[in-house]
Amino acid sequence: MQTIETKYHGATNVRGSRISATASGASIRICVSYDHSLNSEDNHKAAALQLMDKLNWHGQYIGGHTKSGMVFVNNDSRFDYSISR
Residue, of 19 and 1, whose pLDDT is higher: 19
Cα(73)–Cα(5) distance, integer angstroms: 9
> Would residue 55 count as lying in a domain?
yes
Which amino acid, one-letter code, is at 82? S
> Would residue 8 count as lying in a domain?
yes
% of residues, the chain, pLDDT over 70: 91
> Would residue 84 count as lying in a domain?
no
> Would residue 85 count as lying in a domain?
no
* Per-residue pLDDT tens over the stretch 28-68: 999 999 999 999 999 999 999 999 999 999 889 999 999 99
What's the mean pLDDT in 77-85? Answer: 71
> How many CB atoms sit inside 10 A of residue 44's CB?
24
Q: Which domain holds residue 24?
A: 3-79
What's the mean pLDDT in 62-79? Answer: 88
Number of structural domains found in the chain: 1
Cα(15)–Cα(74) distance, integer angstroms: 31
Cα(7)–Cα(71) distance, integer angstroms: 9
What is the per-residue pLDDT for 40? 95
